[in-house]
Each structure stands twice: as C-alpha cells, then as structure tokens.
Amino acid sequence: MKLNTTDTHEPFYLAIIMRLPFAFRAVSALVITLFLISNNVKSQDNEEQSSELKNVAVVLVPYQQILLSSRIDSSVVSIKVKLGGAIFQADELVKLDDTVAVANLTESESLLKTAKGQLAIQDELRENQVFQKRAEAAYDLAGKQWLTAQRFLKDNTISQEEYAEAKKNFIVAETDILLAKTGSTKEFLQAQSSIATAQKAYDIAKYQYDACHILAPCTGHVSQILVEEGESVRPGQPIIEVVDDNKLKARFFLTESNFSKDLIGKEIVFRINEFPLPVKGVISEVGAVIDPASRAFEVRAVIDNAPYQLRSGLSGSVVSISK
C-alpha cells in the first residue's frame, strides 16, 4: 500500500501509523490520542493559570525594616554612613557625644575594681579566720591567767589589784572573741553590699556609653537618616532607619478561588519591572482572611537577594505558581 503524500497538511504521525500493520496501527493511534489529550489538558491548565495570574501585581518590601532611636539626651557628633549605603551587622552608624559617659564609665570601672578587691580580702580573711584565731588564743591565755589568779587569791599570794586585773583581761578577751566571730561576717556582708552598689553604677554607666554608639542590628542598607550632625536628640527620637534586604518579601493578592490551596512552600515566579530576568521566590505567608470588597487575600513570598540586584519598592507581576 502506498502512502498518499500529496496532502502537505496531513500530520506526520499519520504517515507513520499507515505504514504499520493493522494491530499496531490501533495501539499506536490510541497512545498518540492520549498524548495529545494530555498535552491539551496541560496547555489549558497553563492558559487558565496564566489568565488568572496575569493581572496579579506584586511589590517588593524589605525582609526587615528597623527604625533606631536615641536612648539618651545627647547630641550627634558624627554620622558614619550615607543614605543607601551598605552596612554590616555591628557597624557603628551614628556617634553621639560620649564625653560624660566615658568619664562615668571610667570612674565606675575603678570603683567596681576596688570593691571586688575588698570582697576578695574579706573572703580570704573569713575563710582563714585570722582575727578569730587570734582572739581565741588571747581568750585561752586570759582564761588560764584568770583561773590562776582565783587560786592565788585563795592562798593570799596575790593582791586584790592583781586579781582584778586578771579578771578584767579575761572579760576583755571574752568580748574580743565575740566581736571576731560576728565582725568578720559583718565586714564580709558590707563588702558584698559595696560590690553590688558598684556593679549597679557600672551597668548604668555602660548603658549610657553604649547608647552613644548606635550600631547596625543587621546587614543591609541605610534607608533613612533622620538627624544632622550637631543636632540635639532626646530619648525616643528616631535617628536612622536600616533595612535587611539580603532577602526581600514579595507582597501580592490572590483571588478567593486560590484560598483553599496549600500555597506555603510553593515556588513562585515573578516578572519585576526594569529587571530583565524572571525572579523566583518561595511562598512563606498566606493571609487568614479574605477581603470582602476585593474577594482576595494577601500572600507573601521570600526572595533570596544575596547579590543585591533587587531593591525594595520595585513592582512587577506574578508569572506562575508551582503545582
């Protein structure tokens, strides 16, 4: 049987099928039909998704946006960064006048060091019980002399004055040992109290010193500088704003028909205006409420922006969401 090849519009696979025996023709035709149906369904799904998402606008926002404020009364000595400049975590961004803070910190450090030294001495004395041992030795000696004086008085071998002196020495030694036992503990407790007071003063001075040096809480960029050098600032006054844009968040709204879908963790592709390549992200947050007016709910996706090719504020549209 010869194949009619005059019809140039005849699909190529029909020519192949017609060359096969009848049984193979039937099977082959069935396979090809199923393949075409599957492709047609996928095409329709893609068209439906593209049609549904083509009007979904997206806006990029920082992963974190942090406003740093003054914690003390002071004045701005220097601003060490520029608007839009890159920063690294713990970089000094703004320096406030720390003249008084440095003096207070130096003094409090010295007082704390002295208090710790006194505590160490009292702790050692308390542990060794030096004063108590000395008092105990004097008490033992005075006690023996007092007993001897009592015997000698009965034998009339000492005078009343000598007897009275021995009795007085014993009473003094007895008082000294009581003072030694309680005094060492008292002095130790006083040393502990002094170190607590010195530590509190140091903590306050350190807080004031640290407050004069405003550091970057994250790696990213400077988004706003809200003061000028020489300007006086008060506690709570905004100084500088920074953004963590190593990652970005894409914010957009989907219609209620997508609400029941398990979206978190799915890959999503965006087309960002003024950026030549598709941008991929992962859906991280899905709003719990559908807006009654727009019949849509908010979705957020995280985009890795390590090369800093994108900036917050850019806009675009959603291209596709993985199935």
Beta strand 267-272 pairing with 279-286: antiparallel
pLDDT value, residue 52: 60
CATH of 65-92+213-241, one of 2.60.40.1250, 2.60.40.420, 3.10.180.10, 2.40.50.100: 2.40.50.100
Q: Exposed, middle or buried by CB within 10 Å (0-12, 13-18, 19+), for 77?
A: middle
Instruction: Give the right CATH number for 100-210 from 3.40.50, 1.20.1260, 1.20.120, 3.40.1000.
Output: 1.20.120
Provide the residue ranges of all domains of the chain, joining segments of one domain with +.
Answer: 9-53, 65-92+213-241, 100-210
> 18 with 1: CB under 8 angstroms?
yes
Contacts of 304 (CB under 8 A, 6+ apart): 246, 247, 281
Q: 76 pLDDT band (50/70/90 cuts)?
A: very high
Banded model confidence at residue 48, pLDDT cuts 50, 70, 90:
very low
Q: What are phi and psi of 104, to 5 degrees?
A: -65, -40
For residue 283, pLDDT over 70 is answered with yes
pLDDT at 315 over 80: yes
| Mean pLDDT, residues 223-240 | 97
* Listed range (20-29, 92-101, 199-208, 266-275) with the worst mean pLDDT: 20-29
In this model, does residue 97 exceed pLDDT 80?
yes
- Do residues 135 and 183 touch, judged by C-beta distance below 8 A? no
Tell me the pLDDT band of 42, cut-offs 50, 70 and 90. very low
Give the mean model confidence (pLDDT) for residues 21-35.
Answer: 51
State the Cα–Cα distance between residues 72 and 237, nearest whole angstrom: 9
Task: Name residues whose C-beta falls within 8 Å of residue 204's C-beta, 6 or more positions apart in sequence.
Answer: 104, 108
Choice between 204 and 47, residue whose per-residue pLDDT is larger: 204
The answer to whether 243 touches 62, Cβ cutoff 8 Å, is yes
Q: Nearest-5° angle of CA 119, CA 125, CA 127?
A: 100
User: Which pLDDT belongs to residue 54?
Assistant: 66
Same fold for the domain at 65-92+213-241 and the one at 100-210?
no
Which amino acid, 44?
A: Q
Average pLDDT, the chain: 82
In the block, residue with structure tokens 């914690």: 71
Work out the pLDDT band at 149, boundaries 50, 70, 90. Answer: confident
Is the whole model's pTM more than 0.75, yes or no? no
> In sequence order, what DSSP letters do the residues of 183-213 get, joined into one string?
HHHHHHHHHHHHHHHHHHHHHHHHHHHHHTE
Which string of DSSP letters, residue by residue, matches 137-156? HHHHHHHHHHHHHHHHHHTT
Structure-model confidence comparison of residues 151 and 132, the more confident one = 151
| Sequence-distant (≥ 6) Cβ neighbours of residue 99 within 8 angstroms | none
